[in-house]
Amino acid sequence: EVQLLESGGGLVQSGGSLRLSCAASGFTFSRYAMSWVRQAPGKGLEWVSAISEDAVSTHYADFAKGRFTISRDNSKNTLYLQMNGLRAEDTALYYCVKDGELGFDYWGQGTLLTVSS
Amino acid sequence: SYVLTQPPSMSVAPGKTATITCGGNNFGGKNVYWYKQKPGQAPVAVIHYQSDRPSGIPERFSGSKSGNTATLTISRVEAGDEADYYCQVWDSSINQILFGGGTKLTVL
């Protein structure tokens, strides 16, 4: 059974930093690209960043460029998102998502980030 | 930049057909995906490659794409179909993934 377990969310002050983690199991982690998708309270889905299976390629939404860094450790089956310079508008539930051959086929339950201004 | 436009909400009676649209500048060769999200739950894929259903998704769900519009059609709507629905594409020109704003489907 595929499981994606996010952690690391919490309350942080504006301008602060935080690192999210996603522990993956139930599939061969090193064979799949992964993404982070966020959802602000009461709002829609917003893609944040993606990383290739071998970590060679990374892509970011415009709002994440220069502030967020996606990475992965295939030996630990773990995906990360380092977030710096956090703003109130970054407050959201952050989902870890497996990018299968047919799109986003598995989603975690999310970890909540709250940025206080 | 590329924008996907969905109607914010729509309502349909049980047993009827719901048609949710997703408008883009020009879908061209972009693959379109659709996700269903119920309150308090993570999204679930219901359509990939604009018209294919993942395993476990009822045949009542179908998708299509033509010109500047992708469409998710839900036939014989049931109460359990009430949810938010999002379209999504990969924009290879800027290497970014885009979601539509979402459509809240209410079953009357």
Q: Is B35 on the interface with A (CB under 8 A)?
A: yes
- Least Cα distance to B63 among B75, B54, B74, B50 occurs for B50
Determine, for residues A103 and B37 on separate chains, whether the beta-carbon distance falls below 8 Å.
no
How many residues in total does chain A contain? 117
Determine, for residues A102 and B45 on separate chains, whether the beta-carbon distance falls below 8 Å.
yes
What is the average per-residue pLDDT within B80-105?
95
pLDDT tens column, B29-63 = 889 999 999 999 999 999 998 888 999 999 999 99
Residue A67 or B66, more confident: A67
Q: Given pLDDT bands bounded at 50, 70 and 90, which one contains residue B92? A: confident
Element (H, E) at B45: strand B44-47
What does the pLDDT read at residue B51? Answer: 87
The residue to which tokens 């290497």 are assigned = B95
Q: Is B102 on the interface with A (CB under 8 A)?
A: yes
Give A107's contacts in chain B (Cβ within 8 Å): 42-44
What does the pLDDT read at residue A102? Answer: 82
- Least Cα distance to B20 among B91, B106, B89 occurs for B106
Determine, for residues B96 and A47 on separate chains, whether the beta-carbon distance falls below 8 Å.
yes
Q: Is A113 on the interface with B (CB under 8 A)?
A: no
- Least Cα distance to A49 among A39, A41, A40, A38 occurs for A38
* Percent of chain B whose pLDDT exceeds 90: 77
What does the pLDDT read at residue B30? Answer: 87
Q: Is B49 on the interface with A (CB under 8 A)?
A: yes
What DSSP assignment string belongs to chain A? --EEEEE--EEEETT--EEEEEEEESS-GGGSEEEEEEE-TTS-EEEEEEE-TTSS-EEE-TTTTTTEEEEEETTTTEEEEEE-S--GGG-EEEEEEEEETTEEEEE---EEEEEE-
Given a cut of 90, whether residue B28 has pLDDT beyond it is no
* Percent of chain A whose pLDDT exceeds 90: 96
Q: Residue A67, Cβ neighbours under 10 Å: how many?
A: 15
pLDDT tens column, A6-24 = 999 999 999 999 999 999 9
Compute the mean pLDDT over every residue in chain B, rounded to the nearest whole number: 94
What is the average per-residue pLDDT within A59-65?
97
User: Half-sphere exposure of A79 toward its Cβ, with a 13 Å CA cutoff?
Assistant: 34
pLDDT tens column, A78-116 = 999 999 999 999 999 999 999 987 889 999 999 999 999
What does the pLDDT read at residue A7? Answer: 98
Integer CA distances (angstroms), B39 to A15, A110, B60, B80, B93, in order: 30, 13, 21, 12, 33
- Least Cα distance to A68 among A41, A40, A87 occurs for A87
A100 Cβ neighbours under 8 A, 6+ residues apart: A32, A106
Q: Among A53-57, A78-82, A85-89, B21-25, which stretch is predicted with the lowest mean pLDDT?
A: B21-25
Q: Given pLDDT bands bounded at 50, 70 and 90, which one contains residue A47? A: very high
Task: Give the gap in angstroms from C-alpha A57 to the nearest C-alpha of chain B.
Answer: 10
What is the average per-residue pLDDT within A48-66?
97
